[in-house]
Amino acid sequence: MKSNVIFLLFTMIICFKSMALSQGVNLHITITGLHSNKGQVVLFLYNSEAGFPKDHNKAYRMAVSIITNNTCTLDLNDIPKGTYAIAFFHDENNNGIIDTNFLGLPIEGVGSSDNGTGSFGPPTFKGSGFELKSNLSMTLKTKYFF
């Protein structure tokens, strides 16, 4: 009987320790500067430079939010600690893609976790990357070319 109790306690300790180790952190994102409340914001969280920012199939996680008062918020929960970068776009016509002009420039609002501080061309993972070590709130700005 005593060995059963010890085994049960040992098993419970291992389970609780595993649960504590597997819990990630939470990321709260506010996106500002949206031109209208039409459509939705589509956000992609990348955990490596592979595909960033254009290949959305390589994103670690995706989230969609409605827009209220030209702002939206998104919560990504249980994310493992690490280095990440965010890319998002204002899908004004709800077609699920970033619409571009004949030069390939976005005609819908776009943004990234570097808030547009990069040079010409799309942002890079290195320039947009941030360390996620604990729960984090960030505000990102939408950029429109037209």
Report pLDDT for 49: 97
pLDDT in tens, 87-102: 999 999 999 999 999 9
Which residue type, as a one-letter code, is found at position 28? H
Residue 79 tokens, joined: 């994310």
Which of left, alpha, beta for 82 (phi over 0: left; psi -120 to 50: alpha)?
A: left
Residue 120's CB is within 10 A of a number of other CB atoms, namely: 4
Q: How far apart are CA 35 and CA 41, in angstroms?
A: 12
pLDDT of residue 21: 55
Q: 68 and 37 in contact (C-beta within 8 Å)?
A: yes
60 part of a folded domain: yes
Domain that holds residue 112: 24-141
Q: What's the CA gap between 70 and 32, in Å, rounded?
A: 7
> Does residue 16 sit within a domain?
no
Provide the β-strand partners of residue 96: none
Count up the domains in the chain and report the number: 1
Residue 114 lies in a domain: yes
pLDDT of residue 5: 41
Query: Which positions of the chain have pLDDT values less than 70?
Result: 1-22, 118-119
Asked if residue 108 belongs to a domain, the reply is: yes
CATH number (domain holding residue 109)? 2.60.40
The answer to whether residue 30 is domain-embedded is yes
Measured at the CA of 124, the angle between CA 119 and CA 45, to 5 degrees, comes to 130
- The answer to whether 108 and 143 have CB atoms below 8 angstroms apart is no
Q: What is the CA radius of gyration of the chain?
A: 20
User: Does a structural domain hold residue 58?
Assistant: yes
Burial of 9 (0-12, 13-18, 19+ CB in 10 A): exposed
Under DSSP, the state recorded for 127 is H
Q: Is residue 15 part of a domain?
A: no
Asked if 32 and 71 touch (Cβ cutoff 8 Å), the reply is: yes
> Would residue 122 count as lying in a domain?
yes
